[in-house]
Chain A
Amino acid sequence: MILVFCELKDGQIRKPSAEALSEGRRLADASGKKVGALFAGASCAGAAEAAKFGADVILTAEGATLASYSSDAFAQLLADAVKAKGATVLLAAATAVGKDVLPRAAARLGAGYASDVTGLSMADGKLQAVRPVYAGKAFATTTFASAVQTATTRPNVFPAAEKAGAGAVETLAAPAGDFKSVVKEILAKAGGKVDLSEANVIVSGGRGMKDGANFKILEELADALGGVVGASRAAVDAGWGLPHSMQVGQTGKVVSPTLYIACGISGAIQHIAGMSGSKFIVAINKDPEAPIFKLANYGIVGDLFEVVPELTKAAKAMGIGSN
């Protein structure tokens, strides 16, 4: 069996989890295996949706002890489920929780782990992964020596494909409690927008923005396009009051949106490493020699303070953000 750990949010499967589950289904079809979707929480209401993405079996662990995330409790739950079902592959989305729990579960299983993968296949009954290394400057094909193979899938890379599965529900016992660590409180950032790592559209600003306050025009464009705002290391380190959680690059977030609009970003290797996985790249820069243009599908040589507001205006006129 290929077991996929899935996360729920507001009673729905999170998109990165649906992507991981869909990829699990594809791998199972290619290797004649079954797919199990595993859920854990105070309530697993909404887990039935996993059948839509091809789950043959839906495993739910519900209980008060699982209301808050605990690394060791969830890792144990995942590892126990792998053993109970005789699964040989364990997947999850490379979310904050997925990246926290999978390596721990892997160690518990004596299994190799490939993180944040962008490609998966089955070769001779074993998982094989392709993953960006050196922040996207190279790709490593990863093979496994262990009987169980584990991986997290990068959000926005694998399509969430609807394919009906049997979706037979089985319940798992929730652990008793007394965990080594547990999440006590979640501090949401104002705005509650989607995270850069999951965003479909990113409008990013660099040194050419000249000041943190000027990021307002990027916010306006991002809002018009249904995206979120990022920044280069140069901008974050410039003392403009931008949080490092906005930083895209090798020492910041590695992103893979459909559309990345780089405004006033020259394109240092450090930055390119974090965003070269974007499907379409747009560069807006007044310097025609800026290295970012070598990467861009579309380039605008011009003053971003003129071009960006025009883009916002045009996007609104074309009704782009509304679909």
Chain B
Amino acid sequence: MKILVALKQVPDTETKIKVAADGKSLDPADVKWITSPYDEYALEEAIRLKEGKGAEVVALSVGGDTAKDVLKNALALGADSAVLLKGDGQGDAFAVAQMIAAYAKDKGFDLILCGNKGLGGDNAAMGPMLAELLGIAQANVIVKLELGEGTFKAEREIEGGSEIVEGALPAVITAQKGLNEPRYASLKGIMAAKKKTIEELDAAAVTAGAQVSALALPPERPAGRLLQGDASQQAQALLQALKDEAKVF
């Protein structure tokens, strides 16, 4: 069994967002870059499959030199090899999907795992686009995965519950929080990873889909009002204000 895990480098959730001088991208100063948390669930699932049934796990990221950190971490956690596709991994999901599809199409992967969305861009699009470009099955926002002989059974989060999706391998499965509890890298893993090399390839040329033409901070919210009195008075005043001023009810 051969598994590809696609990992995206994203700004840490605590990052204060500043717009760069070009008016359409993130100011990279002070940004701490991490592996997208949803991709960590994808990687953990791949490593568990490797430990359980035996599998070869290839970690992949699209980006520049800094994205190597994500791949080094994946190697330390148990990926067998790592590939960096040199290209813009932060932009259009359709472009990234085409780059990964061009790499993966003749490699014989049985399973492709990634996060259900890249934190920050929040497109939740790369996985299903990749599945379509490769002409294979998809299951998104997955909290439980079972593999059979050439098949998968996955539990997917939906509004008000979940649903069971069954399909044929190969497939793109996108991970959701709850799928597993990612491990930390061991010292042994970190040392072993240092001996491994990251294969660097130029990303394939792609057709553009959508692009960000402007990035802006949200408008400031109007100043609020504190409600006075004891708990009962505060409660009354709040509901009255929501009814009369905000017209929520």
Give the B-binding residues of A (Cβ under 8 A).
69, 71-72, 75, 95-97, 99-101, 103-108, 110-116, 129, 131-146, 149, 179-189, 192-195, 197-198, 201, 225, 244-245, 247, 250-252, 254, 258-259, 268-270, 273, 276, 279-283, 293-303, 306-307, 310-311, 313-315, 318, 320, 323
Contact = CB atoms under 8 A, between A and B. Distances in A.
Contacts of B119: 135, 250-251
A9 B216 CA distance: 37
Contacts of A99: 124, 140
Interface stretch (B49-57, B190-198, B206-214): B206-214
A35 B124 CA distance: 26
Chain B, interface SS category:
mixed
Contacts of A111: 94, 209
Chain A, interface SS category:
mixed
Interface in B193-249: 207-218, 221-222, 224-227, 231-232, 234-236, 238-239, 241-243, 246, 248-249
B5 interface: no
A298 B225 CA distance: 5
A38 B224 CA distance: 43
Nearest to B235: A310
A250 B117 CA distance: 11
Interface residues of B, number: 85
Contact of B210 (A72, A96, A146, A185): A146
B239 A311 contact: yes
B187 to A, nearest CB: 26
A108 B125 contact: no
Interface string B161-194: 1111111100100000110000000000000000
Contact of B231 (A146, A192, A201, A302): A302
B216 A139 contact: yes
